Structure 1
Amino acid sequence: MHKLKKIGAVLSSAMLVTALAGCSGSDSGEAGESAGAGTGSAAPTKMETVRVWTNSGHTKELVTEMVGEFNNTIGKEKGIKIEYTVQGGDYKQALDLALASGQAPELFYVVGPKVDYVKRGDIIPIEELPGGAEFLGKYEGMLSHPAFTVERKVYSVPFNVTNVKLLYNKELFKKVGIVDANGEALPPKTWAEVREYAKKLTNPQEKVYGIALPLKWGSYFDWELFFPWVSSIGHNYYNTLTGKYDFAGFKPALEWLMGIKADKSYFPGPEGLDNDPARAQFAEGRVAMKLGASWDVGVLNDQFPATMEWGAADIPVLDTANRYKEFASVSDFISVSKTAKSANSAKVMEVYKWLHSDEFLVRMYEEGKYMPYDNRIIQLASKAPEAKGWAEFGRNENIYMHHGQPTIKLEGETHAQVLLKLWMGSVSIDEALADLDKRYSEALEAGIQDGTVDPSAFLNPDFDFRVK
């Protein structure tokens, strides 16, 4: 039975690629209107198909609509028909098969390290397309990130960011009197205030707690501790200014976390609390504060609809007089396939430019689908997104796009495992930080020595983290 299922899966994939083979290239049955057709005054515009693949299900309806508008307007004028496909859970399998058989779309979303696709020759630099170098000009200073550039060649560009805010329950804040002069909920501006407010908001008798700490979530220590604390420390635990690991710089963050533990102002059982249950507790009004990423807007509106009034405040800092830029993870959208070489590359480039145009990005923001990489896009929007919380996450004037960090072969426990032991009382703060700096630094040096790590790809000594 298992063998039959496997054969069926392979046959289905093969049928998919066979069907795709008929979709590439020119559409001989379609042509743009031509004045004086039949009189020899002008040749019809040759229509050519440019295929685009993504796995972005949450934008499928909107992008499909926009592609239809493009095909009926700009596309007709320029002889371009976009064929837009959103693959399901088998996206990578379908993409790998299409690439191996030479039937890949001209443009597609890359899953996994871009360098792997480059080594196989599956994607080509944007500079190699007509007008590509000119197009990249508007991204000057933004392309050093390994998500975009491999060996000084650019394979994609910034599209959206994921940033972090402090989620807070306005109703609970008002109930305990944490309000401004107008009686509105007043979110904390410093980490000391977060701790102070968490104590004041905790009421075990009413099963209400100051803050949720989903320590079971594998990404907790990154997304809800280290990343938010960058705006207080001035660098990440991999310090792009020096090209070295610096966990020791985050001692104040760990002291704050252990202070929350000492105060017992957290939702019970953090060691067994994953992120989804933590978000559900916040949505139900049993947690007053939680660190959250911009993806949580969708969670609190759709997955776990909030039953109370909530807000998203800027990340607190240690000292309001010494604020650094806030962390934001930057992502791309589309890369150029090797099949673009055998297509009309000028038309492929036209589609690539349209998918990264101001018009396209503004629509993504207005409909609450993506947070744009450039705050200028938000300013161009003609309407605010309807999704509650989206506009607050759009206050991103002080973000910086995370520079990435090397992939190393670490011996022993990860930083998340070590810091969980810290929470459990097995190690001290100083012991944990010293251990992490030593082992991560050794792994980095080993990678540099064996050639698996290029430190220059992540080093940015001139970057200014300060908020001016």
Structure 2
Amino acid sequence: MRKKWLSLGLSLILTAGIAGCGGSDNNNGNGGTTNGKPDGGTAAPATETGQPVQLKYWTDDRHDQEYIKELINKFNETNGDNIQVELTVMSENYAQSVDIAFSSNQAPDVLRLKSANTSGFVKKGYLAPIDEYLTDDMKTKFGSLLIDDVNRFDGKVYSLANTGLTMRLVYNKDLFAKAGIENPPKSLQEMVEDAKKITDVGKAEGIYGFALNFKNPKQAFDRSVREILSLSGHQGLGFDLKTGQFDFEPYSQVIEYFKQMHKDGSILPGAEALDIDPLRAQFAAGKIGMYLSFSTEPGVYMDQFPTEINWGGALAPTLDGEIKGTSEIVSAGTWLGISAQSANKEAAWKFMQYMYGEEVLKTYHEKGFGIAIVPSIVEQAKDPEINGMEGFLVGEHDSLWPASPNVTPEGSTYADAFFKYMLTDEDLKAITEDLNTRYNAALSKAVEKGEVKVTPNPAFDPTKPQGE
């Protein structure tokens, strides 16, 4: 696997094309200081009153919460600058909670950032640039991973990379064997058939072939349809990179198969109100044959929902069983950011610098919480020794994809519209055409306002999405 990690790191370096300068990073996760100042060159947090500097860190990650708690406890005990960090873990409505916190001047000091929320947070003025804190060593360590409209906006850096997430089909091997299924499905038609077989042999025991966290349709589809489409040769969020326009026709093809599973009764009853953690609990209990999700799952089943079932991860099925693209590595470019409202930005940076230390990042990968993409970590980290992780490791069919524009259409979103179709008998063609019209209208407005930039790429190759 080591060569594959190095290949990914080199690919990212070529993609970003940003050269750092000077030295190597000697911070091993200990929040080091120089002459009483943080290594970033700023003065240590003021504590004239003798009271600790209190920081709040918000995240919507649950799969790594036990490890993060350990890191924060260690930082609180050893940082030497009288800084105390309080962790808040959210599972749902994270973005909305952040909006409310900023509007009421109760924002956290440090936020978990992802590709899906960083741009919006920057536009809303929630984040503080971190350029002034970056040392030459950190520029060298992370410089190749600074990418416009991912972690750098208008020339200012707001976050640094840590890991990326692969997406896979998560399946119960015992239930597959019980249903007489030898291998995970290669095509969507096989997935529909396998889900029905598992349901037929397990329904009496409350076992069903398929499930997703449909309480939040967008989350459910973004961890499933996105993966299926990228492997099938299409951008996974409904955007056509060749034309520079939204085209949900490929997306609608996937939804047809999801609708069939619902019609067959192969989807876990009550999935319409299911969050991801209750879904995981049901899977850990052996009640779900398969679902699609991120490489966070092995960590979940090690710490959060320990299970004795025999399970694994496999490449998602494609539209026709043929791989015509690559599985998209997502959330690769951001991790932590500092609140623009924080009254303790220097202390927040001290914590952030500690979290980005070599030992922390290396252990984060080795524990299986994410797949390292920082070149210096890639070179030294061992493959995670965690049950199930072998199915999620980066391979020949995994790569980064160009970002798609984030727009807000008038009316329902693609996720809500397609999920409603799954439960009804509406006209799918009409739904798809309506989505194309509304999303492209929103895209035109966003381009006119200068909110997004779109450059069609007629030569785009889905087997080499970054052109490597």
* Same fold (TM > 0.5): yes
- Matched with 2:291 is 290
CA distance in 1, matches of 2:78, 2:397: 34
Distance 1:279 1:438 in 2: 36
Residue 129 of structure 1 contacts residue 349 of structure 1 at CA under 8 Å; is this kept in 2?
no
Q: Are 1:215 and 1:272, in contact at CA under 8 Å, matched by a contact in 2?
A: yes
Query: Which position in structure 2 is the counterpart of 1:368?
Result: 368
Which residue does the alignment assign to 1:235? 235
Q: Structure 1, residues 302-354: CA drift from partner, whole Å, max 9, x if none? A: 444335211111222235553312123215233467899x999xx99999777
**Cα distance in 1, alignment partners of residues 345 and 205 from structure 2:** 65
Offset at residue 130 of structure 1 (A): 4.7
The equivalent residue for 1:143 is 147
Give the 3-state SS of the residue equivalent to 1:421 in structure 2: helix
Distance in 2, matches of 1:223 and 1:367, equals: 22
User: Shift of the alpha carbon at 1:432?
Assistant: 1.6
Distance 2:413 2:143 in 1: 38
Paired residues in the alignment total 402
| Alpha-carbon shift at residue 466 of structure 1 (Å) | 0.6
After superposition, give the CA deviation of every residue in 1:136-188 in whole Å (9 maximum; x if it has no partner): 77425x512x2412123332222222332111111112223323xxxxxx322
Of 46, 56, 68 in structure 2, the residue corresponding to residue 60 of structure 1 is: 68
**What corresponds to 2:136 in structure 1?**
131
Contact in 2 for aligned 1:53/1:109 (Cα 8 Å): no
Aligned partner letter, 2:260: G
- Separation in structure 2 between the aligned mates of residue 334 and residue 430 of structure 1, nearest angstrom: 41
- Indicate yes or no: 2:168 matched with 1:165: yes
**Equivalents in 1 of 2:358, 2:147: separation in Å?**
18
- Judged with a 3 Å threshold, the aligned counterparts in structure 2 of structure 1 residues 358 and 69 are, in CA distance, closer, same or farther, namely farther
Deviations 1:25-50 (A, max 9, x none): xxxxxxx9xxxxxxxxxxx9445536
- Equivalent residues in 2 for 1:291-330, closer than 5 Å: 291-319=292-320, 321-330=322-331
In 2: Cα distance, 1:133 partner to 1:343 partner: 18
SS at match of 1:412: coil
Greater Cα shift, 58-67 or 406-415: 58-67
Aligned counterparts of 2:156 and 2:141: Cα–Cα separation in 1? 11
Cα distance in 2 for residues equivalent to 1:69 and 1:460: 52
**Alpha-carbon shift at residue 231 of structure 1 (Å):** 1.3
After superposition, the Cα gap between the structure-2 partners of 1:282 and 1:88, relative to the gap in structure 1 and judged at 3 Å, is: closer
Q: Tell me the distance in 2 between the aligned counterparts of 1:210 and 1:223.
A: 17
Aligned residue for 2:190, secondary structure, equals: helix
CA contact (8 A) 2:233 2:323 kept: no
Is the contact made by 2:255 and 2:422 (CA closer than 8 Å) also made in structure 1? no
Percent identity over paired residues: 25
Q: What is the CA-CA distance between 1:436 and the residue it aligns to? A: 0.8
Distance 1:244-1:63 versus aligned 2 partners, 3 A rule: same
1:174 to 2:171 alignment: no
> TM-score normalised to the size of structure 1?
0.69
Per-residue CA deviation, residues 47-96 of structure 1 (Å, 9 max, x unaligned), is 5536986335544344347759996xxxxxxxx96956244379969996
Aligned to 2:230, what secondary structure does the other structure show? helix
Quickly say closer, same or farther: Cα 1:321–1:220, change in 2 above 3 A.
Answer: closer
- Contact kept? 1:190, 1:318, Cα under 8 Å: yes
Partner Cα distance (1:274, 1:438) in 2 = 31
2:340 pairs with 1:333: no
Residue-by-residue CA offset, 1:371-414 (whole Å, 9 max, x unaligned) = 3235984663246344x333432345543345444443421122
> 1:47 & 1:397 partners in 2: Cα distance?
44
Contact 2:170 2:293 (8 Å CA) reproduced: yes
**SS of alignment partner, residue 165 of structure 2:** strand
Q: Does 1:192 align with 2:174?
A: no
C-alpha distance in structure 1 between counterparts of 2:345 and 2:417, whole Å: 51
Q: Out of 85-94 and 271-280, give the one that drifted further.
A: 85-94
1:241 CA drift (Å): 4.4
> What is aligned with 1:252?
253
The 1-side partners of 2:299 and 2:348 are apart by 32
CA displacement at 1:440 relative to structure 2 = 0.9
Change beyond 3 A, Cα 1:84–1:325: farther
Quick one: distance in 2 between partners of 1:46 and 1:376? 27
- Specify the SS of the correspondent of 1:189: coil
SS in 2 for 1:202: helix
Q: Report if aligned partners of 1:171, 1:310 keep a CA contact under 8 Å in 2.
A: yes
Larger CA deviation: 287-296 vs 162-171: 287-296
Structure possessing the higher radius of gyration over alpha carbons = 1
Please name the residue that 2:214 is paired with: 215
Preserved CA contact (<8 Å) 2:196 2:264: yes
Are positions 1:224 and 2:224 aligned together? yes
What does 1:267-278 align with in structure 2 at a 5 Å threshold? 267-278=268-279
Q: Helix, strand or coil for the counterpart of 1:166?
A: strand
**220-229 or 57-66: bigger deviation:** 57-66
Tell me, which stretches of 5 or more residues in structure 2 are unaligned?
Answer: 1-31, 39-43, 46-52, 60-64, 91-96
Structure 1: distance between partners of 2:127 and 2:292: 38
Distance 1:287 1:378, change over 3 A: farther
SS where residue 436 of structure 1 aligns?
helix
SS at match of 2:224: helix
Aligned-residue offset at 1:439: 1.0
Distance 1:238 1:220, change over 3 A: same
The C-alpha deviation readout for 1:266-290, integer Å capped at 9, x for no partner, is 3335444444443333222222111
Matches of 1:426 and 1:65, distance apart in 2: 53
Query: Does 1 or 2 have the higher relative contact order (CA < 8 Å, sep 6+)?
Result: 2
- The reply on whether 1:390 has 2:394 as its aligned counterpart is no
TM-score (norm 2): 0.69
Post-superposition shift, 1:445?
Answer: 1.2
Contact 1:406/1:453 (<8 A) preserved: no
Unaligned runs of 5+ in 1: 1-31, 33-43, 72-79, 180-185
Distance change in 2, residues 1:47/1:226 (3 Å)? closer
C-alpha spacing 1:297/1:459, structure 2 compared with 1 (3 Å): farther
DSSP-derived class of the 2:170 partner: strand
